[in-house]
Structures are given as structure tokens and as C-alpha cells.
Amino acid sequence: MKKNILIVPGDGIGQEVTAVGKKVLDKIAAKYGHEFTYDEALIGHAAIEATGNPLPDESLEKMKKSDAVLFGAVGHPKYDNDPSAKVRPEQGLLKMRKELGLYANLRPIKLFDELLGASSIKPEILKGADILFFRELTGDIYFGEKGRKDNGDTAFDIAQYSRYEVERIARKAFEAAMTRGKKLCSVDKANVIETSRLWREVVQQVAKEYPEVEVEHQFVDATAMLLIKDPKRFDVVVTANLFGDILTDEASQIAGSMGMLASASIGDGTGVYEPIHGSAHDITGKGIANPMASVLSAALLLDISFGMKQESEDVINAVDQVLKAGFRTGDIADATTPKEKILGTDAIGEELL
């Protein structure tokens, strides 16, 4: 199969881990006789430095034309402590999601057995946990009207959802539930928030089309607690943009490290595949970032955008094999890991496939 993949490394460790993700795609292409061609595009701080714009039109055009995007992360410490900065790296990320119509963010939380000890949660609570989050990605408080009044002393952000927006993400989650355990948990705050009441109403309506799926509605505060108390109770989880952002970072602890978690953003056009972590400036340039989140993002890309199930499973198995062989990056190593098994970003990438 011929495919054209856009590599968008972004900032910080985005550069380091995406390089490994791309190498894995190359190995898969060679193994299965596919022809993958690549182009690169700028986003985030790197794009601001080069063009003044966190998502230049040229990058957006390339994204729209490609068959899939492998993305890294955006961010730079200079913006984190400067809330007044008008041009910011994450504007590039939000614009990319909006312009490409990427309304569904899939975040599989899968714990590799070998990493049971890497989490701060007890192994007996974790073993067998396997959750697929659907986070709505182009609505909610992130994209609503925002601003200041009273001479800047009062700030506001408006959360807004339309029936249509909730319906399409709910349907995606129900479709996924049908291919998994036929269990879906919808998370909201319908006791207090109006957008949540619409959310619950619409999910209940869509549920009628999927009578086989067992549906549970939870308030987000309860979900935050239950994720840690009993992660195995969850299968497919669907939730709004803000709740999903927070809950999936929390859920990353089920998988042992942010460095292990991949995501797929899909919707109307080109799919974008990226680690859930950020640009991690505390470790940038040290060559120690865990590249597995990018590698597993490449696996999602193969499966979802290209329909290459076998190839995708091959990549996931390769990650499993490397872990079984005892290799670790620093973030997933523990006191029992021998020093010679702790590898850097490129070296652990070389062990794959």
C-alpha cells in the first residue's frame, strides 16, 4: 500500500520520540512491502521561532493533504510562566484540532504486564486494566468565548456543546464498545452543569441505537476516584474535552508512565496520532525520553487511518517483547532493573522489530 505520512515533531522531546515512531513505521513498511513517503511540518514554539505563527498555513495544508499525521508535542518553558504571552505554542495544537475537525480523541489505557511494578497503584488492583477513553476534542470550555471584564479583575470561559457535537462523539464511543466488552461509561457533571445535562440526554438517546451495550452514567468526581480504586470496572469511557483531559492524565498512572500512552485524534479529515505527554523540557536533549508513546501512536495510525490491523499488532507486540526482554527507559525502570537494561530513547527504539 502507498501512503503519505506527515511527521510533525513539534517541540522538546517531541523531536526525539517522533524520530523513533517514524523508524518503526519504516521497519513496518519494509517488512510488509508498503511504500510510505514522508514530509515534515512545523508547529508550536519551533513554528513561532521560524514564522511567528504557531501553525503556519503551509503546515495546515500539508496536514490536510497527507494520509495521516504523526505528531510529537508542543510547548516551551518560556510560555509556561508568562500567562500574558499572546502567541503561544498550544494555539497551534488547538487550531490543528479545530481545522482538521478532530473531534474524537481516543486514548487507550493499556497496562503491559511487565510494568505492573512501575505504577504507584497496587499490582492486584491494576492487573488486567484495559480502558479506551473517548475524549471530545473540539468543543467545551477550551473553544468557547473567553475574556476579562471589570478592568481585568474578572475572567470568564464559556463551555458550550451542541446536540450534534455530543451525538457524533457518543456514536464513535458506542461503535467502539460494540467491538470490545459492550460496556460504556459516560462521564459528566449533570447534577450541576447544563452542558452536562445535554450530554447525558444525548448519550441516553444514542444508547437506544445500541441496546446490546450496557451504559453507565457517572459524575466526573466519582470517576476520578473510581479510576484509581478499581480501574478494571471501566471498558469504554466517553467524556467532554476538559474532563477527558484531566481523567486521562490521571489514568496514565494505570499504565505506569506518561511515556507509554498513545492517542489518536480522528474526525472529518486526516487523523493525527500523538503521545499524550507534552514536550517535557526537564528531560529534553538528554536522550532519555521514553519513545513508546510515539511508537504506540504509530501503531494506532496503522490501524485506524490505514486499516493495517496486522501491522499495528506487530508494533504493539514489539513493544511487549522489548519490555519482556527487560529493557526499560528511566521512567519505567524500578529498583530491580539492572543498569545495563536501562536504555536511552534511540537505543530502546533499535530493539523494536
Residue 293 found at the interface with ligand NAI (CB under 6 A): yes
From the list 21-29, 110-118, 206-214, 272-280, the region that binds ligand NAI by CB under 6 A is 272-280
Q: Residue 189 binds which entry of Mg ion, ligand NAI, none, with Cβ cut-offs from 5 to 8 Å by kind?
A: none
93's contact among ligand NAI, Mg ion, none, with CB below 5 to 8 A by partner kind, is ligand NAI
Exposure string for 294-323, b = 16+ CB within 10 A, e = fewer = bbbbbbbbbbbbbebeebbebbbebbeebb
| Cα separation values, 319 from 47, 158, 173, 286, Å | 32, 41, 26, 22
Kindly state the smallest distance separating residue 314's Cβ from ligand NAI, in Å. 22
Catalytic positions are: 142, 189, 221, 245, 249
Q: Does residue number 278 form part of the binding site for ligand NAI (CB under 6 A)?
A: yes
* Residue closer to ligand NAI, measured from CB, 186 or 271: 271
Among positions 290, 297, 305, 312, the unique one binding ligand NAI when judged by CB under 6 A: 290
Q: Does 279 sit near ligand NAI (CB under 6 A)?
A: yes
80 binds, among Mg ion, ligand NAI, none (CB under 5 to 8 A by kind): ligand NAI
Is 97 labelled a binding residue? Answer: yes
- From candidates 22, 23, 277, 328, binder to ligand NAI by CB under 6 A: 277
Interatomic CA distance for residues 240 and 94, integer angstroms: 15
Half-sphere exposure of 302 (CA within 13 A, CB side): 28
- Helices 220-229 and 241-251 sit at what angle, rounded to 10 degrees? 10
Closest CA to 332 of 261, 270, 248, 282: 261
Report the nearest approach of Mg ion to the CB of residue 245 (Å): 5
With CB under 5 to 8 Å by kind, the binding choice for 115 among Mg ion, ligand NAI, none is none
Residue 317 · residue 329 · CB < 8 Å = no
Q: Is 249 annotated as a binding residue?
A: yes
Q: Of the ranges 67-75, 117-125, 184-192, 213-221, which one interacts with ligand NAI (CB under 6 A)?
A: 67-75
Shortest Å distance, C-beta 156 to ligand NAI: 22
Residue ranges of E strands in 86-213: 104-110, 130-136, 146-149, 154-157, 183-188
Task: Decide: 254 and 129 in contact? Cβ < 8 Å.
Answer: yes
157 marked as binding residue: no
Query: Of these, 24, 70, 74, 176, which contacts ligand NAI (CB under 6 A)?
Result: 74
277 binds, among Mg ion, ligand NAI, none (CB under 5 to 8 A by kind): ligand NAI
CB of 149 to ligand NAI, least distance (A): 26
Site residues for ligand NAI, window 81-100 (CB under 6 A)?
Answer: 90, 93
39 in a known ligand binding site: no
Q: Which amino acid is at 262?
A: A
Q: Which of 67, 99, 245, 351 binds Mg ion (CB under 5 A)?
A: 245
**CB closer to ligand NAI, 68 vs 332:** 332
- Residue where the block lists cell 505504577: 119
C-alpha cell at 247: 481523567
278 binds, among ligand NAI, Mg ion, none (CB under 5 to 8 A by kind): ligand NAI
Please state, in angstroms and rounded to a whole number, the distance separating the CA atoms of residues 101 and 95: 10
CA distance 46 to 274: 17
DSSP 314-351: HHHHHHHHHHHTT-B-GGG--TTS-GGGB--HHHHHHT
> What DSSP string describes 66-121?
SSEEEEEE---HHHHT-TT-SS-HHHHHHHHHHHTT--EEEEEEE--GGGGGGSSS
Binding-site residues for substrate, please? Answer: 97, 107, 135, 221
In the complex, the residues that contact ligand NAI under the rule CB under 6 A are 13, 17, 73-76, 80, 90, 93, 258-259, 277-283, 289-290, 293, 331
